[in-house]
């Protein structure tokens, strides 16, 4: 029984075991590893996709869910500190899945309770269960994680999904990783120093698209730019359209954590490269596998 706050909390072996189990759950869709157990979903920051897929995963495993999505109207809104809220949930559950707008909230929670805590996204920090789903999609398509060329596109400085993705890749041996973003949205240098695999900085996806096996797209938020005009100027170069897709390797794939807004032209959905809906469909089996690993015994 342990907490999953960061991608670093999982070894390569554990990731591979989770993938084995997830493949099994893809077929069966059910189990009883959470029978008589209750999982608390503490989503201080609202979410549909992540909330519902954890909810469904618990249901499929015979467990019960309690919790909330959105802090308005919770005791938090009344000024309660996070520690007291977590202590409360500790009384009601066997594990706590937390989403919060502050970096480090999940780690903090794990220090307050003895129950396992799963980070479902904390501020600009991490979202490791999303990464498990991302890499499981890669694994299902290529039957491996190693030896591939990855391209991460968009906001590489503030996107927690990107942080968790790049960190979990350190457990594997990617051939190379392209970090494609506007200069002001590049990963921090301290972060880059963590990476134990070859990576290249790029500003224009068109320059490198021919090389890429796995293109991971994230949203670029207008708010990140001091100058809205600059945002307007660059945003086109970060939209995936049929023209860009036409340059991709035959067997390459496009991933996106969803929800997407305009980062991917809807016409791309019908191309064989578009794997983001399949990726979304792995949310439940992968989370069933993780929950079984953590609470199953």
**Binding-site residues for carbamoyl phosphate, please?**
49-50, 99, 127, 130, 258-259
Stretch that binds a copy of itself, among 87-95, 128-136, 155-163, 172-180 (CB under 8 A): 87-95
Q: Cβ–Cβ contacts within 10 Å for residue 62, how many?
A: 14
Give 266-271 contacts, CB < 8 A, sequence gap 24+: 267/241, 267/242, 268/240, 268/241, 268/242, 271/242, 271/245
Q: Cβ–Cβ contacts within 10 Å for residue 92, how many?
A: 13
Which of 26, 52, 82, 195 lies at the binding interface for a copy of itself (CB under 8 A)?
A: 52
- Region at 111 (left for phi over 0; alpha for psi -120 to 50; beta for the rest): alpha
Residue 20 vs 48, nearer CB to a copy of itself: 48
Stretch that binds a copy of itself, among 45-53, 148-156, 200-208, 240-248 (CB under 8 A): 45-53
Binding residues for a copy of itself, rule CB under 8 A, total 45
Sign of the alpha-carbon torsion through 162, 165, 169, 171: positive
Which of 23, 74, 173, 203 lies at the binding interface for a copy of itself (CB under 8 A)?
A: 74
Residue 222 engages a copy of itself in binding (rule: CB under 8 A) = no
Residues 245/269, Cβ–Cβ less than 8 Å: no
Q: How far is the CB of 74 from a copy of itself (least distance, A)?
A: 4
Stretch that binds a copy of itself, among 91-99, 129-137, 155-163, 288-296 (CB under 8 A): 91-99
String of b and e for 227-263 (b: at least 16 CB within 10 Å)? Answer: eeeebeebeeebbbeeebbeebeeebbbbbbeeeeeb
Which of 31, 67, 154, 187 lies at the binding interface for a copy of itself (CB under 8 A)?
A: 67
Sign of the alpha-carbon torsion through 172, 281, 53, 56: negative
Residue 78 engages a copy of itself in binding (rule: CB under 8 A) = yes
Residue 76 engages a copy of itself in binding (rule: CB under 8 A) = yes
DSSP state of 193: T
Print the binding letters for residues 10-39 with a copy of itself: x by CB under 8 A, - otherwise: --------------------x-----x-x-
Q: How far is the CB of 230 from a copy of itself (least distance, A)?
A: 21
Residue 270 engages a copy of itself in binding (rule: CB under 8 A) = no
Residue partners of 186: CB distance under 8 A and separation at least 6: 156, 157, 179, 201
Stretch that binds a copy of itself, among 43-51, 101-109, 163-171, 186-194 (CB under 8 A): 43-51
Radius of gyration of the chain (CA): 19
What is the binding site for a copy of itself (CB under 8 A)? 30, 36, 38, 40, 46-49, 52-53, 55-56, 59, 64, 66-70, 72-80, 84-85, 87-89, 91-93, 258-261, 277, 280-281, 283-284
């Amino acid at each position: 029984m342990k907490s999953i706050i960061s991608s670093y909390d999982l070894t390569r072996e554990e990731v591979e075991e989770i993938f084995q189990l997830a493949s099994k759950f893809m077929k069966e869709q059910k189990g009883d590893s959470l029978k008589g157990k209750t999982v608390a979903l503490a989503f201080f920051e609202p979410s549909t996709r992540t909330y519902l897929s954890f909810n469904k995963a618990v249901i499929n495993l015979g467990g019960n869910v309690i919790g909330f999505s959105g802090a308005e109207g919770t005791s938090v809104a009344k000024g309660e500190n996070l520690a007291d809220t977590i202590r409360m949930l500790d009384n009601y559950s066997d594990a706590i899945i937390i989403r919060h707008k502050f970096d480090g909230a999940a780690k903090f929670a794990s220090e307050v309770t003895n129950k396992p805590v799963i980070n479902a996204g904390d501020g600009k920090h991490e979202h490791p269960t999303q990464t498990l789903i991302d890499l499981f999609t890669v694994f299902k398509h290529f039957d491996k994680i190693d030896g591939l060329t990855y391209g991460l596109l968009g906001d590489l400085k503030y996107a927690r999904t990107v942080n968790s993705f790049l960190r979990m890749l350190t457990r594997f041996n990617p051939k190379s990783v392209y970090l494609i973003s506007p200069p002001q949205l590049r990963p921090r240098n301290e972060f880059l120093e963590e990476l134990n695999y070859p990576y290249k900085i790029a500003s224009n996806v068109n320059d490198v698209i021919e090389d890429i096996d796995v293109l991971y797209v994230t949203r670029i938020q207008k708010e990140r730019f001091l100058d809205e005009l600059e945002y307007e100027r660059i945003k086109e170069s970060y939209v995936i359209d049929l023209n860009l897709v036409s340059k991709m390797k035959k067997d390459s794939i496009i991933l996106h954590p969803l929800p997407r807004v305009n980062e991917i032209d809807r016409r791309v959905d019908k191309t064989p490269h578009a794997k983001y809906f399949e990726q979304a469909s792995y949310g439940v089996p992968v989370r069933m596998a993780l929950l079984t690993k953590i609470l199953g015994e």
